[in-house]
Chains A and B, each alone.
Chain A
Amino acid sequence: MVKRIVTGAKYGFSSWLRQRVTAVIMLIITVLFFAFLLNLALHTNSSIDSWRNLFNDFLVKFVVQLFFSALVLHGWIGVRDLWMDYIKSNLLRLTLHVVTLLWLAVNFIYSIKIIWA
């Protein structure tokens, strides 16, 4: 028996692409971060100040914010996929979407607060 189904939201590909692009951004920043850590470890004169100074740099703040933005977007798509795969009830799925969004939004605002404080 075939049930009538409602599909055709035109956003599948953009989400898929965003998920990949954000993954690449996070990967690059992670590599840069570890490179910096390595650099820090190799230089004996490194101190808590050089660490703190780093995060005063606007560019670094921007990159870190970019990382968290990418993480939130990536997480949203991934978690939404989970709900879409497993949750059949429209109402429950919508609720979970909203909860996820709220949670990610709170995290995002908190990341702004930390980075730019």
Chain B
Amino acid sequence: MNKKMKFSIYRYNPEVDTQPYYQDVEIEVTNLDKKLLNALVKIKEQVDDSIAFRRSCREGVCGSDAININGRNGLACLTDLAKLKEPVVLRPIPGLPVIRDLIVDMTQFFHQYNSIKPYVIDHNQMPSRERLQSPKDREELNGVIECILCACCTTACPSFWWNPDKFLGPAALLHAYRFIADTRDEATAERLDDLNDPYKLFRCHTIMNCADVCPKNLNPTKAIGKIKEFMLSRVI
């Protein structure tokens, strides 16, 4: 089944464009072009090789191709073409500076991720074998460690748009919870102290855009709630 599909793609190249604009593109898609990424690659190959976007694994584990698709953040490689309303409007994920076309500068996003100390802190002498952890304790990390850092959630979060510099955003907070929840981590108190801040965590107003758009079906809002539970358990 071949059919023509229309796309409207955000274009901006700082070398030549003073303003961003939308480029209308029409291509033929076949049965083999199941996902939006297939169409994007085809557009780049057949129509205009100057359209810039990131992509790598094409199976939803690397987190490269987060794009705002018809107004909603998602991964191009996991978005079914058949379900998209035409013309398919493609824009860079919002709230981050655009470098070119669909490529945004993610420095701020990763800066926030780094700021939560994203590593297990354990000052004990390591045993010669693995540290033990019960399957139940390990299960706490499910729904958190699957995060691919695509930034769909953070850039869909109004609190992040309002305070991109001070609010950590859902992705970084999800990871903050990942290390609080890990029974091997010893720095829970320091982590909670650090997050106890009117901006870093408490700009979250449970709008839940994050959970809504997460391509891995994770729920950062729930993780943020769990961080608050930890904080509560400290004071009562």
Contacts and interface: CB of A to CB of B under 8 A. Distances in A.
Nearest to B192: A13
B58 to A, nearest CB: 30
Contact of A85 (B163, B194, B232): B163
Interface string A80-102: 01001110000000000000000
Contacts, number: 54
Interface residues of A, number: 18
Interface in A8-30: 8-13, 15-17
Contact of B202 (A1, A2, A3, A12): A12
Interface of B: 97, 105, 107-108, 111, 159, 162-163, 165-166, 193-203, 205, 228, 231-232, 235
B139 to A, nearest CB: 26
Interface of A: 1-3, 5, 7-13, 15-17, 81, 84-86
Contacts of A2: 107-108, 111
A16 B202 contact: yes
Contacts of A12: 195-202
A3 B166 CA distance: 10
Given A5-B165, A5-B166, A7-B197, A13 B202 contact: yes
A86 B198 contact: no
Contacts of B201: 12
Contact of A10 (B97, B108, B197, B203): B197
A2 B232 CA distance: 32
A86 to B, nearest CB: 6
A75 B132 CA distance: 48
Contacts of A10: 193, 196-197
B228 A13 contact: yes
Contact of B197 (A1, A3, A8, A85): A8
Contacts of A81: 205
Nearest to B194: A8
B199 A7 contact: yes
20 contacts: A1-B105, A2-B107, A2-B111, A7-B199, A10-B193, A10-B196, A10-B197, A11-B198, A12-B199, A12-B201, A13-B202, A13-B231, A15-B202, A16-B228, A81-B205, A84-B163, A84-B198, A84-B203, A85-B162, A85-B205
Contacts of A13: 196, 202, 228, 231, 235
